[in-house]
Structure 1
Amino acid sequence: MASRGQGTVSSYAGFDKEADCGALRKAMKGLGTDEQAITDILAFRSNAQRQEIVIHFKTSYGKDLLKDLKSELGGKYEDVVIALLDKPAFYDAKSLRGAMKGAGTDEKAILEIMCTRTNQEIKSIKEAYKKEFKRDLEKDLMSETSGHFKRLMVSCCQAARDESPTVDEGKANADANAIYKAGEAKWGTDESEILRVLATRSFAQLRATFDAYDKISKKTIEEAIKSETSGDLEDGFLAIIGCARNTPAYFAKRIRDAMQGAGTKDQQLIRCIVSRAEIDLGTAKMEFLRMYGKPMSEWIKDDTSGDYKKMLIALVRN
């Protein structure tokens, strides 16, 4: 899989877990909680360093840091703090479970995770899901989806996408023709053939396929998918295409979508910023400015408030 960009959060050079634990304990002692002190630590440590803090806090004080924070915090600020302290695979597993629980299913949240993670990340998510919920992720996804969208989710669960950077131009031409014949060139659509290509090829290979498609069709691959599919399957195919073309740009769109319209989709915003902070959020921030002409941090300032806003802006690195 191609490089996905530059993050905004990395390992803190002057990391001192004992000092951080002491500062966090002090921030929670007495009347009121010093949220800024918590932000100044957690937003500037890598996830691996935060895991060390969690262990050292319990070792030093005999108390669970997450439980202490939950008892002191609340609302959306608590949500982002807990997300930062979760291990990435567990956070994704928890997000997937939340997207499938209760009335209705958040298909776009499922796609955002299942169509953008590497093979190893998917394997780790499946293990975390099994460990935490005593359930099988693939079976749960199958029970919550249907038709070709279900097949796409099953394919993603196999964590077997080709991740080689090598591009085979002959295969790209063959795949482009296969997609064309399965869609535009026939009455009805052979979704299975399109799925076969989009779900198995490396992102580098898919980019070559999209270029080849441009040469045989008057439509772009995105336009063809929109005209030949609909609903969740269309969203799934477009998510894969978007990530294959430019993963940071895909997440820039997801972040903007979370802040558009009436009310902010807080969990979507938190998930996109926290999950990409160490991967490609820095690049997504640049794509955001290019696409929308306004810094990501400015959108966050306008659409969020209080300590929640300060934490998100700290992670974005205004």
Structure 2
Amino acid sequence: MATLVAPEDFSPGEDALAINRACQGWGTDEKAIISILGHRNAAQRKQIRLAYQEIYLEDLTKQLKSELSGDFERAICHWILDPVERDAVLANEALKKARPDYRVILETAYMKSPEELLAVKRTYQFLYKRSLEEDVASHTTGDMRRLLIAVVSVYRYEGEEIDEGVAHSEANILGDEIQGELSRSLRGDPTDEFSAALRAAIRCIRNPKKYLQKLLCNVINNMGTDEDTLSRVIITRAEKDLKEMKELYLERNGRSLEDAVSSETTGDYKAFLLTLLGNQEF
């Protein structure tokens, strides 16, 4: 279940006006922005962006980028994007990193239906004038390139009667590859990205919620929080299954995800993430 609870009745025009007021003067009213955008679903956020453009002849994302900064700015600007556009932007950002983040590409491929993945790829092409496959190929090499191109290129049938069998079949194929001669030699190095990517792909297919919960544990509990990954997981799952992931996190770690986020983040960024986690104080 989702952690986000959006009001049934709202006025996109009034929200646009309130956000604009929050951006006026000497200091931005971040709390006002969180109180509005942190409680609106994807359809409502789209209406707010359209209303803002119509009233002020300015893109809301650009306005927020100019007013906010740091992890909070990146998180909220990702949040207000249409989900398909957001997935395309996240994939592009992941590929442009000094060390491309293969996890984002795997999540894009395996946590979407075939139709959703196709929509992301079309949006990627529209935004960047290149295909997702082309950018994967230009930013990766060797076995990692072959793996990632394969997962974003394949069309997976998801008929109701055989969906589970197809998922386990894909996982078993990857499992066989991990157990093959090449992967056996790679397992000697726990830092090897290709074998880690294969294991992540299997987890994505077999149990996406468990994969994401483990990802949260890793990015919060390791030395130094990985804010980009923390934001990505919370933002992309708040309207889907973040409630179940919170329960898994509590069961696994003995403390709530809210407590973990509170201890590892600060300021408006913390307030925004806690809002998406279902905290009603903001």
Whether TM exceeds 0.5 here: the answer is yes
Give the corresponding residue for 2:215: 254
Give the corresponding residue for 1:161: 156
Give the corresponding residue for 1:40: 35
The separation in 1 between residues aligned to 2:224 and 2:234, in whole angstroms, is 18
Give the corresponding residue for 1:236: 197
Q: Check if 1:66 corresponds to 2:58.
A: no
Of residues 229, 239, 250, the one that matches 1:289 is 250
- Please say which of residues 129-138 and 161-170 is displaced more in the overlay: 161-170
Please say if residues 85 and 120 of structure 2, whose CA atoms lie closer than 8 Å, have aligned partners that are also in contact: yes
SS of the residue corresponding to residue 212 of structure 2 reads: helix
Q: How does 1:61-140 map to 2 (within 5 A)?
A: 61-101=56-96, 103-140=98-135
The separation in 1 between residues aligned to 2:172 and 2:81, in whole angstroms, is 44
The separation in 2 between residues aligned to 1:178 and 1:87, in whole angstroms, is 33
How many residue pairs get aligned? The number is 278
Counterpart amino acid of residue 160 in structure 2: P
1:189: Cα distance to partner? 3.4
Please say if residues 136 and 145 of structure 2, whose CA atoms lie closer than 8 Å, have aligned partners that are also in contact: yes
Could you tell me which runs of 5 or more consecutive residues in structure 1 were left unpaired when the two chains were aligned: 1-5, 192-222
1:61: Cα distance to partner? 2.6
SS of the residue corresponding to residue 142 of structure 1 reads: helix
Identical aligned residues as a percent:
32
The separation in 2 between residues aligned to 1:25 and 1:160, in whole angstroms, is 43
Assess, with a 3 A threshold, how the Cα gap between structure 1 residues 154 and 51 changes in structure 2: closer, same or farther. same
Deviations 1:155-177 (A, max 9, x none): 32235113233249999999999
Of residues 246, 266, 270, the one that matches 1:305 is 266
Give the corresponding residue for 1:189: 181
The separation in 1 between residues aligned to 2:106 and 2:172, in whole angstroms, is 26
Counterpart amino acid of residue 88 in structure 1: P
Could you tell me which runs of 5 or more consecutive residues in structure 2 were left unpaired when the two chains were aligned: none
SS of the residue corresponding to residue 259 of structure 1 reads: helix
1:281: Cα distance to partner? 1.1
Please say if residues 289 and 296 of structure 1, whose CA atoms lie closer than 8 Å, have aligned partners that are also in contact: yes
The separation in 1 between residues aligned to 2:61 and 2:258, in whole angstroms, is 27
Instruction: Please tell me whether Structure 1 or Structure 2 has the larger radius of gyration of its CA atoms.
Output: 1
The separation in 2 between residues aligned to 1:239 and 1:147, in whole angstroms, is 18
Give the corresponding residue for 2:147: 152
Counterpart amino acid of residue 241 in structure 1: I
RMSD: 3.2
Please say if residues 157 and 163 of structure 2, whose CA atoms lie closer than 8 Å, have aligned partners that are also in contact: no
Deviations 1:134-192 (A, max 9, x none): 111112212333444333322322351132332499999999998888776xxx5388x
Assess, with a 3 A threshold, how the Cα gap between structure 1 residues 9 and 174 changes in structure 2: closer, same or farther. closer
The separation in 1 between residues aligned to 2:127 and 2:16, in whole angstroms, is 26
TM-score by length of 1: 0.76
Counterpart amino acid of residue 224 in structure 2: G
The separation in 2 between residues aligned to 1:58 and 1:168, in whole angstroms, is 42
Please say if residues 93 and 128 of structure 1, whose CA atoms lie closer than 8 Å, have aligned partners that are also in contact: yes
Counterpart amino acid of residue 56 in structure 2: Y
Deviations 1:23-56 (A, max 9, x none): 2122112231111111111111111210110111
Deviations 1:207-266 (A, max 9, x none): xxxxxxxxxxxxxxxx9x969x99334333322332333222211111222222222211
- Please say which of residues 159-168 and 94-103 is displaced more in the overlay: 159-168
TM-score by length of 2: 0.85
Give the corresponding residue for 1:49: 44
Counterpart amino acid of residue 312 in structure 1: L
Q: Check if 1:268 corresponds to 2:229.
A: yes
Runs of at least 4 residues off by over 4 Å: 167-184
1:286: Cα distance to partner? 1.1
The separation in 2 between residues aligned to 1:47 and 1:67, in whole angstroms, is 18
Counterpart amino acid of residue 267 in structure 1: D
Give the corresponding residue for 1:204: none
